[in-house]
Structure 1
Amino acid sequence: MPTGRSTSTTQAAQPPNESGAALFQSRQGHLAMLAFSALVSLSFSFGHIIAKDIAPAALNTVRFALAALVLFGLARILHVPVRPVFNRFWRFGLIGGLMAVYFITMFEALRMTTAVSTAAVFTLTPLMAAGCGRLIAGQRSGRWTLIALTIGAVGAVWVIFRADIGALMRFELGRGEALFAIGALGHALVPAVSRKLASDVKPLQTSLGSVLGALIVTGIYGFGDLIKTDFVAMRPAVWMVVAYLAIVTTAGTFFLVQYAAQRLPASKVMAYTYLVPSWVVLWDFVFYGTTPPALLLAGIATTLLALTMLLRGEAV
């Protein structure tokens, strides 16, 4: 009897330890995506600076090429083998291709519609990711998570439209919005596809493979613009922004998404895109002293509430 009781006690003690380890990993995933949202938001401000200096297709091809070199060098420094990247490379080509579709459709949509409209469409991404995670990776999103995602979407839309109900009511779906919805779906598929196809490799390897896949797709699409671009004549500010986009918001954020995708459900990974508009408002205040209206702060508070609910949901 004593032996059986001891064994039972030991077995009963295991789940909390396993649960604690899982909670620790999920928190790491949340921190990665918090950094992701902050870094991506800066790219909007920096990208606006060089919008007229280089064609979008050429810009994206160069950023992916530089990002691939950075990730390859980092893999060599950290002694992470790159051979697994070329083992069943089609899976990384698929992941990178999905990201390339997102970037290509975003820039094409911006030629047809406004940044506000594309950002509004992008708020659908976390809910799309929840559906993709369910269909592809068998991830179930509970009622609490879906409520939190919905609240986050409402808050993000409120920030995107600058707390202007009139602007929100004038929102119309056109060709640009429909095109970018395809790109948003591609972005939403990335966490679930990564979890399904690349769980056997390190995040750095997945990031390198995905960037190479994105480079191939974007290079084919943007070849014409690429050969027409006079890179020698570009001003230094353009190269500085391209370097930031390549190293930070491509190599860095690809790694953060892959890292988080192995620790969080797809819906929670994508939920951090809700924070991007709020970060942009913050950077406008820091860089330009632009004070947001009080009603806008309500939207920011709503997105923070949604993320708090998601964190609380880890234990539910």
Structure 2
Amino acid sequence: MSARLRNPPAAPMPGQAAPVRRDAMRGHAAMLVFATLISGSFSLGGMAAPFIDPAALTAMRFVIAAAVIGAAAVAMGALRRADLASPWRYPVVGGLLATYFVLMFEGLRLADPVSIAAVFTMTPLMTAGLARLVVGQRVTATVLAALLLAAAGALWVIFRADLDRLLAFDLGAGEALFLVGCLCHALYIPLVRRFARGESGLAFTFWTLCAAGAVTAVYAAPALAATDWPALPPVVWTALLYLALGTSAVTLFLLRYATLRLPSAKVMAYGYLIPSLVAVEEGLLGHGWIAAPVLPGVAATVAALVWLVAMREG
């Protein structure tokens, strides 16, 4: 079983095509839920941001998520001694995840959020290249075309259909830092597949969260100590619980689930859907609907993802 999880799936026999396709569709469904959960964190996180340091918030979300997933894993008997046969795997993937968030914070100190979001559009393409090196997954010309279409649509949404702002984009120090963070995130995806040893999703997620929490806590130690936790308003605790459970514990589980069923590049492509989902959610919250010129970007992103779903996996 472990070899099947570590390596790209072989081409199915004719009688196996339907089960493989159903398994892939479950992977796509998992990533759609993933993107929806992640998008919901932006509005909620924005309301909590004025009251807490983002590094402290992220460290605490990992700690809470690890505690909840750990309790669930113990209750379900999902933790086994064999899961720690190669314990170095978890600090590697957890460290990559923590580095991504740390560099995102540092990048945001030097660059505006729009530029940071634009840099993120490079992540699926980097994932495709790294997946070729790490697990031997090849990206077909059709998949590459769909990724480029999705990236173009996401950029159009991020820059609000303002071509002048898009052309004025400049890769400064903040963007460069976040680009390194995106590289870590891109490497995380194929390594999850490579490092799978047949352990349960709960076990892998728990140990990854423990490692990510430990690394982030070291970085955020001053902010954690300076935060007056009892004085925080309810919106912070609401955001913290959502981030810990919805966008840490659950999304990491979904990410691993999809990574074992889909090519890495297709998994990361769902990140392109997040700007459009955020725009829709902001409208539903009464913060203003997206302007008509932005809609082609939304349409391009959705069309590209539908195109990816319709493709045969591989």
**TM exceeds 0.5?**
yes
Cα distance per residue 1:127-175 (max 9 Å; x no partner): 0110011000111111111110011100000000011111111211100
1:91 touches 1:198 (CA, 8 Å); kept in 2?
no
* RMSD (CA atoms): 1.4
Aligned match of 1:271: 269
Distance 2:299 2:24 in 1: 23
Q: 1:16 aligns with which of 14, 20, 37?
A: 14
Q: Secondary structure at the match of 2:152?
A: helix
1:289, 1:186 → 2: CA distance?
A: 33
- TM-superposed deviation, 1:86: 3.1
- Provide the residue aligned with 1:8 in structure 2: none
Aligned counterpart, 1:4: none
Looking at structure 2, the residues matched to 313 and 218 of structure 1 have their Cα atoms a distance apart, in angstroms, of 38
1:133 matches 2:137: no
User: 2:137 is matched by which residue type in structure 1?
Assistant: Q
Structure 1 stretches of at least 4 aligned residues deviating more than 6 Å after TM superposition? none
Aligned counterparts, 1:102-181, within 5 A: 102-181=100-179
Structure 1 residues 78 and 111, CA gap change in structure 2 (3 angstroms): same
Q: Cα distance 1:170–1:306, how it changes in 2: closer, same or farther (>3 A)?
A: same
CA, structure 1 residues 215+84, in 2 after alignment: closer, same or farther (shift >3 Å)? farther
The CA distance in 1 between the partners of 2:59 and 2:83, in whole Å, is 20
TM-score, normalising length: structure 2: 0.93
User: Structure 1: 5+ residue runs without aligned partners?
Assistant: 1-13
Quote the Cα distance in structure 2 between the aligned partners of 1:92 and 1:226: 23
Kindly indicate whether residue 257 of structure 2 is the aligned counterpart of residue 259 of structure 1.
Answer: yes
Q: 2:301 aligns with which of 285, 300, 303?
A: 303
- Percent identity of paired positions between Structure 1 and Structure 2: 43
Structure 1 residue 52: Cα displacement: 2.0
Contact 1:159 1:277 in 2 (8 A): yes
* Runs (5+) with no aligned partner, structure 2: 1-11
| Correspondence 1:76-87 to 2 at 5 A | 76-87=74-85
Q: Deviations over 1:67-103 (max 9, x none)?
A: 0011011112333125344332210111111110111
CA-to-aligned-CA distance 1:211-249 (integer Å, 9 cap, x gap): 111011101111121112111111111111101100110
Cα distance between partner residues in 2 of 1:235 and 1:293:
33
Is the contact between residue 103 and residue 178 of structure 2 (CA under 8 Å) also seen in structure 1? yes
Q: Measure how far apart 1:37 and its partner are.
A: 0.5
Q: Aligned AA for 1:134? A: R
**Rg bigger for which structure?**
1
Aligned to 2:212: 214
Report what 1:188 is aligned to. 186
Instruction: Supply the AA of the counterpart residue of 1:95.
Output: V
1:92: which partner in 2? 90
How many Å separate the matches in 2 of 1:162 and 1:147?
A: 23
Residue 141 of structure 1 aligns to a residue in which SS? coil
Which secondary structure does the structure 2 equivalent of 1:107 belong to?
A: helix
Q: Residues 3-55 of structure 1, C-alpha deviation per residue, up to 9 Å, x if partnerless? A: xxxxxxxxxxx822212111111111100000011110111111111112111
